[in-house]
Amino acid sequence: MLARLRREFIAITMLLVGLVLIGVLGMTLFTNAMTLRSVTSRILSKAIAGDITSAQIGDTTGERSAEIMLAVVVDVRRDGTTTIIGDSPLEISPERLDTVIDEVLSASADTGECEEYPISWERAEQPWGMRIALVDTYSRDAALRYQAFNGTIIFFVSMLALFAVSYVLSGWALRPVERAWAQQHRFVSDASHELKTPLTVILANMQILQKQRDIEPESRRWVDSTIDEATHMKQLVEELLTLAQADERTASGQYAKNKTEGIDASGIVEGCCLEFDPVAFERGCSIEEHVEPGIVAHVEKAAYQRVIRTLLDNATKYAPKGTMVRVSLTRDGKRSKLIVNNLGEVIPAEDLEHLFDRFFRTDRARERQGEGGFGLGLAIARSIVVSYGGTIQATSTVEDGTSITVTL
C-alpha cells in the first residue's frame, strides 16, 4: 500500500507540474507565433501601401522603412506583365515567382500563406492591375520550430528532474506513515500472538468443565456459550494474524522471493471444489467447475487454498437455493485467471468498491446466520493475492450475478 501511495504521490505531483509547464511553454510559443505573424502582416501592409524609404543605421525613425526592405513587391498589370518594384535585398527566381503569383491570383482571400514555399503574401487591387507583396517566412517558421524543440527539451528535462525530486520528497513525506504502518502491523501481530495463549487456556478449561457430568443444565448452557464465543474470538485472532502477515509480506516485497516455483493450480482448484461439494449441497446449491489442465501459479499452496476456500465459502453462502456456483480457471497470457461466480443478490455499486475492505459486510451479510464471519475473509484474500503480485476484482450485475476474479 505504501508503495502504491508513493507512486500516486509522484504521479499527481508530476501531472500537476507537467500541466503547468505545458501551459506556460505552450502559451509562450503561441504568443511568439502571434507576434511574428503580426510583424509579417505589418510588413506586407506597408509594402502594399508603397511605404518604401531607406533606413539609416542608428536612426530609430527609419525602423518602419527597414521592415519594408524585407518584402518583395510585385505589380501584375492587366496585360499579364509583372514588375518587381522597390530595392529589396531579397531575391526570388522567375519560376518560383510565376508559381506564387498564379497561386495568389487564384486565391479567394486577399492574404495567405503559400502551400509550396515558406512565403506569406498579401494582394491589393490597383487601377492598372494587382499589387502583390511577398515575405519569406522561412526564418520565422524556423525560429518557431527551434522554440518548440527547446520547449520540448525543457519539458522532459524538467519532468526528469521533478521525478527525482518527487521520489526523494515522497520517501521523506511518507516516512512517518511507514513507521505508523509498521507499528500497526507489529501491534496486530504481537497482540494476536499474545491473545492466542489465554484463549487456548480458556477453551481448554471450559472444555474440561463441559465434560463434567455433575454440572446443572442451566450452568452447562453458560459453559457452552462461553466455549462458542471463545472459539469465535480465537478465529478472529487467527484471521487478524494472517492479515498482518500478508500485509507485512506485501510491504516488504517478499512475494517476489516466493515466485521461483510454481504449483499445480488446476489440481488445487479441483480439490477445493470437491471439498466444498457437500457444503454447497447443505446450503441448497451446487458447484460447476471448468478448469483447464496444467495451469501453474507462482504462489504458496496453503495461501492459494485459503483464497479459493474463502471465495467458495462466500459464493455458496449467498447463492440462492437451487442455483449453480460456477468456478473457472483459465490461462490469460502468462497469467492464471480464477473466476468464482454465483447468482445471488446484486451487490450495489457503493458496496462493491468496499467489498475487500476489512470488517466490511454488505447489508444482506451482516447477520452471521450461525456460521460466523467478521468481514475479514475477502480482505485476507486480497492481501494474499496482492502479496504475490496478483490482482483480485469483483463485479456484480443482474444478468451475470456476482463474480470475483483472481489473476496471478
Q: How confident is the prediction for the chain on average, in pLDDT? A: 80
Per-domain residue ranges of the chain: 175-252, 256-407
Q: What is the pLDDT of residue 90?
A: 64
User: Is the per-residue pLDDT at 325 higher than 80?
Assistant: yes
Length of the chain: 408
Q: What is the pLDDT of residue 89?
A: 63
Please give the average per-residue pLDDT across 85-107, as a whole number: 75
Q: What is the pLDDT of residue 87?
A: 61
Please give the average per-residue pLDDT across 280-306, as a whole number: 90
User: Is the per-residue pLDDT at 337 higher than 90?
Assistant: yes
Q: CA–CA separation, 92 vs 130, rounded Å?
A: 18
* Tens of pLDDT, residues 363-377: 544 444 444 456 677
Measured CA distances, 81 to 74, 101, 122 (Å): 10, 11, 18
Phi, psi of 369 (to 5 degrees): 55, 30
Residue with cell string 492598372: 128
CB-side neighbour CA atoms (13 Å) of 72:
22
Measured CA distances, 109 to 44, 123, 135, 176 (Å): 14, 9, 17, 67
pLDDT band at residue 1, thresholds of 50, 70 and 90? low
Asked whether the beta carbons of 355 and 348 are under 8 A apart, the reply is no
Global pTM reads 0.52
Q: What is the pLDDT of residue 373?
A: 58
- Domain boundaries 175-252, corresponding CATH code: 1.10.287.130
Strand partners, 130: 76, 125
Nearest 10 degrees: CA dihedral of 224, 225, 231, 235?
160
Please give the average per-residue pLDDT across 217-239, as a whole number: 80
How buried is residue 82: exposed, middle or buried, by Cβ count under 10 Å (0-12/13-18/19+)? middle
Identify the CA nearest to 379 among candidates 185, 268, 240: 240
Category of 401 on φ-ψ map: left (φ > 0), alpha (ψ -120 to 50) or beta: left
Q: CA–CA separation, 394 vs 401, rounded Å?
A: 11
Strand partners, 120: 113, 135
The two domains 175-252 and 256-407 share their CATH topology (first three levels equal): no
Q: Would you tell me the crossing angle of helices 2-49 and 138-173 to the nearest 10 degrees? A: 160
Q: Does domain 256-407 have CATH number 3.30.565.10?
A: yes
